[in-house]
Amino acid sequence: MAGFPQVMTAAVPGVGEMHYLVDENFDFIPEVKRFLNYKRSVGRAPNTILAYCSRLRYFYRFLYQKGRSVLPMAGSKQADSADLVEFLIWLCNPHRDAGNVDVIYQSSPVQASTVNHILQAVGSLYKYLVRHKELAESPVKYVDVPRGQMLKDLDLLTHTRRGRDAATVQKMELKLKEPKRIPKVVEDPDFAAYVDSIHMGSRPQTDPAGFRDRLICVLLKESGLRIGELLGMRLEDIEHGKGGIHVRFRGDNANKARAKTGYGRDRFVDLPPDVMGMLDIYLTEVWLDASPDHDYLWVVLRQNARNHDGVVTYGHPLNYKAVSSQFKHYSEQSGVHVTPHKLRHTHATSLVRSFSDHGQPVDWKFIQERLGHASVVTTMMTYTHLNDKDRKKGYDSYLERKEKSRASR
């Protein structure tokens, strides 16, 4: 049936909200349900589970069209490696839902990175089924490839690795080549125009929501926090004496916000004095006036705000949906497209340039720890990029050094 399977949200006792795939009879697809429950049991974030669910939906739509199944099932053939190749072609077909269009004359409806994320989710499902002895073998094939000198150079812990891991990495055999993408940033004039579009009264109390929204934008740009880390902040995370904030992992936030770092990887992020001053004003002149009955830092400040059940949410913890709507509104109002993650990229790029602009080697370990990346390799691979302005500065610096060297002879 067209449109199936679908992603459904279920309330699980003792767990909370979970996302699953259901078939045309609205029955759970059992192997996917077991896989997602396993991911939840090992501490995967709700948004990560939703991402797995949404990506696997593509695969099961394909299987339904082709009369295939993942596990042995009466009346259908099990998917094999050839089916996965066909699935890749199907994903790139703009007419895939028609089910009978084979030749592709139009561009793919999904980006290469999205296709690869979907394939990785399929691979993870099959790995789970093989590991738990529900399948003897996975049709998803992996190959051992040399790590390559670049990865060896970037991995500062490569000297600690032994055996196969030191020389090779496992990669999926079936994947699309992704174009190199440079993280998008917000330049200072554009950021100023964006922030100026946020209405703010002469005093914080006259427009508390406007003051909060400005503060959130400035804080994200000056800290590089992920949006889940920001929304999960509590009062105890602010430390004025040290001039910064603690980023702490909590798995039970009422607004479902979650720091990506996980248990044992909390960090402290230093902030400029003016941002700490804005936080102090927000706490004493905005947050206290809302009289929340909790210790979440960011709260709903529109007094007539209600949720989908009609319950007044004034003073409740701010959630992802509210912040997403906030950024969309101000982007349309200012004509400058800004997202929380773009501000994170802006902060990281600014950190890298602060070293290169002064002719100093980049302290990648410092940037990795500030951003909360699990690996310094991730930081280096993401932010080792130059634009025309960076290249010009680099060349000017080269000419300056060359001239000094010539003068000293």
Q: Residue ranges of the domains in the chain?
A: 6-139, 180-409
Burial (CB < 10 A; 0-12, 13-18, 19+), residue 301, is buried
Q: Which amino acid is at 247?
A: V
| Residue in the structure block whose two tokens are 């102090």 | 280
Predicted confidence (pLDDT) at residue 159 exceeds the cutoff of 50: no
Q: Does domain 6-139 have CATH number 1.10.150.130?
A: yes
Instruction: Return the number of other C-beta atoms located less than 10 Å from residue 338's C-beta.
Output: 23
Predicted confidence (pLDDT) at residue 394 exceeds the cutoff of 80: no
CATH number of 180-409: 1.10.443.10
C-alpha–C-alpha distance, residues 398 and 208, integer Å? 50
Residue 164's pLDDT is 45
Task: Provide the CB-side half-sphere exposure for 218 (13 A, CA).
Answer: 20
Predicted confidence (pLDDT) at residue 280 exceeds the cutoff of 60: yes
Average pLDDT value for residue range 25-35: 94
Tens-place pLDDT, residues 174-193 = 888 877 778 899 999 999 99
The H or E element containing residue 50 is helix 46-66
Task: Provide the CB-side half-sphere exposure for 272 (13 A, CA).
Answer: 12
Tens-place pLDDT, residues 281-308 = 999 999 999 999 999 999 999 888 888 8
% of the chain beyond a pLDDT of 70: 87
